[in-house]
Amino acid sequence: MRVTIYTDGAARGNPGPGGYGAVMHYVDPAGKLHVKELTQGFRRTTNNRMELLGVIAALESLRRPCEIDLYSDSKYVVDAFNQHWVDGWLKRGWKSAKKEPVKNTDLWKRLLAAKEPHRVTFHWVKGHAGHPENERCDELATESADNGPLLVDEGFEQTGGLFQ
Catalytic annotation on 138? yes
Catalytic annotation on 135? no
Catalytic annotation on 128? yes
Catalytic annotation on 60? no
Catalytic annotation on 106? no
Out of 19, 21, 54, 73, which one is annotated catalytic? Answer: 73
What does each C-alpha distance from 72 to 24, 133, 155 come to in angstroms?
A: 12, 10, 22
Q: Is 106 annotated as a binding residue?
A: no
Q: Is 133 annotated as a binding residue?
A: no
Q: Based on the number of CB atoms within 10 Å of its own CB, is 66 exposed (0-12), middle (13-18) or buried (19 or more)?
A: middle
Distance CA 17, CA 97 (A): 30
Catalytic annotation on 69? no
Q: Is 8 annotated as a binding residue?
A: yes
Q: Is 146 annotated as a binding residue?
A: no
Which residues are part of a known binding site for Mg(2+)?
8, 51, 73, 138
Binding site members = 8, 51, 73, 138
Please identify every residue annotated as catalytic.
8-9, 51, 73, 128, 138
